[in-house]
Amino acid sequence: MTQKESNGGDTMKLADTYMFHTYARFPITLVRGEGCRVWDEDGNEYLDFVGGIAVCALGHSSPVVTRALEAQSRRLVHVSNLYYTRPQAELARLLVENCFADKVFFCNSGAESNEAAIKLARRYASEAFKPEKRVIVCMDNSFHGRTMATLSATGQAKVQKGFDPLLHGFTFVPFNDVGRLEQAMDESVCAVMMEPIQGEGGVVCPSPDYLNAVRSLCDQKDALLIFDEVQVGMGRTGKLFAHEHYGVTPDIMTLAKALGNGLPIGAMLATDAVAGAFGPGSHATTFGGTPLVAAVSNAVVSELLDGGWVDHCREVGDHFRQGLEGLVERHALALGVRGLGLILGLELDIPGGPLVKYCMDAGFLINCAQENILRFLPPLIVGKDEIDSLLSTLDNVLAKAAKLVEE
């Protein structure tokens, strides 16, 4: 298909006329991608440092995805979970062999994987302890999704606004505050649910030993620890799972985003001790782990592991971080660098929106979290040269931004 067949500038008008206005979109229509690059319908090229929001780990139009998609689509796409299918069983084994968990439940998104985790934690507590053990402690500024349960677990007022009554039984404490968590951990708590590194919250890392303290408080109070690794899992931080950096193991972990490199898949993983609380009929989804999506995810995860991409992520992530630290030294408006591997944030003294726009005009897609944190989530296959070209554009825009503020 040629680019003009998509009917040029009409796309935005069509979308705005016929679709809910639930997204504040940038005014470009993307038609093609390859590796770390995407093109809009006018043929403009962009280096993609958003990566589908931490989804396209192997980049766009990855031959790994195309091959698996093509082969499995000729074989079997969907039959429902009334029957066994090989790709989902193999994907479950691959995941279990590479993490703490013993069992996997497949679904279709990050929110769904967190829904499953919330249900499992409550079911487990009601069976192993007492039905009153219901409360899930969550973090301020967290993000767990947009369904009613997951937005109830999300510690951001803007996500919850206008949707009350929310689900009962969620309490919130500040991230990195052991004292406040200790106060919140009474007998009614069945789980602590948190991102090991907060993504939407602005790339916030745990302070040393915080996750250890969370783990021991959970153990003391017979509460489960749920890590939402939807954004930071699958190699993004330079280890396959972010919690490996901190030597702290959860009871339940949720995955999605990069798991299918763009095909919709989520997974909720747990130890055998906890997974036993879900029996036949306790939880289900029509599409979860279809042969098609699971076959692609198998190929994606295998490539992440066998292709050396997690090591590559750590190496280029260090290079990226050093470059960003250089920007902090040179520009008073750049306050600091956060993150690990290829989830990095640059904290600014000013709103980041105009800088995102400037970078887009210069051919770079970047993102801004929490108003003033520029967030970078490129494909894990990104090269140092591509990182360097973004760094030099950021250098320019920060110099200009400083001048603008002086004027």
Contact residues: ligand PLP, CB under 6 A: 109-111, 114, 143-145, 195, 199-200, 228, 230-231, 256-257
CB of 112 to ligand PLP, least distance (A): 7
| SS3 (DSSP) at 82 | coil
CB of 233 to ligand PLP, least distance (A): 9
173 within 8 A of 208, measured Cβ to Cβ? no
Closer by beta carbon to ligand PLP, 152 or else 393: 152
The single residue listed with the structure tokens 């603008």 is 404
Could you tell me which of 377, 390, 375 has the C-alpha nearest to residue 204? 375
Closer by beta carbon to ligand PLP, 200 or else 347: 200
Ramachandran region, residue 8 (left: φ > 0; alpha: ψ -120 to 50; beta: rest)? left
Lookup: tokens for 272: 């055998």
Q: How far is CA 245 from the centre of its chain?
A: 17
The single residue listed with the structure tokens 């009350």 is 164
Q: Under 8 Å CB-to-CB from 244, ≥6 apart: which residues? A: none
Angle at 26 between CA 20 and CA 28, to 5 degrees: 105
CB of 113 to ligand PLP, least distance (A): 8
The single residue listed with the structure tokens 């906890």 is 274
Q: Which strands make up the sheet holding 37-40, listed edge to edge? A: 30-34, 37-40, 45-48, 364-365
CB of 13 to ligand PLP, least distance (A): 26
CA dist., res. 188 & res. 186, Å (int): 5
CB of 25 to ligand PLP, least distance (A): 16
Closer by beta carbon to ligand PLP, 144 or else 312: 144
Residue 256: count of CB within 10 angstroms of its CB:
28
Closer by beta carbon to ligand PLP, 175 or else 358: 175
Closer by beta carbon to ligand PLP, 234 or else 275: 234
CB of 26 to ligand PLP, least distance (A): 18
Closer by beta carbon to ligand PLP, 19 or else 273: 19
CB of 258 to ligand PLP, least distance (A): 11
CB of 3 to ligand PLP, least distance (A): 29
**Backbone phi and psi for residue 6, each to the nearest 5 degrees, phi listed first:** -75, 0
Strand boundaries in 342-386, DSSP class E:
343-348, 364-365, 367-369, 373-376
Closer by beta carbon to ligand PLP, 145 or else 378: 145
CA dist., res. 293 & res. 299, Å (int): 10
41 within 8 A of 8, measured Cβ to Cβ? yes
Q: Name the residue whose CB lies closest to ligand PLP.
A: 110
CB of 346 to ligand PLP, least distance (A): 19
Angle at 379 between CA 374 and CA 381, to 5 degrees: 130
Closer by beta carbon to ligand PLP, 199 or else 289: 199
What does each C-alpha distance from 327 to 322, 324, 367 come to in angstroms? 9, 5, 17
Closer by beta carbon to ligand PLP, 99 or else 397: 99
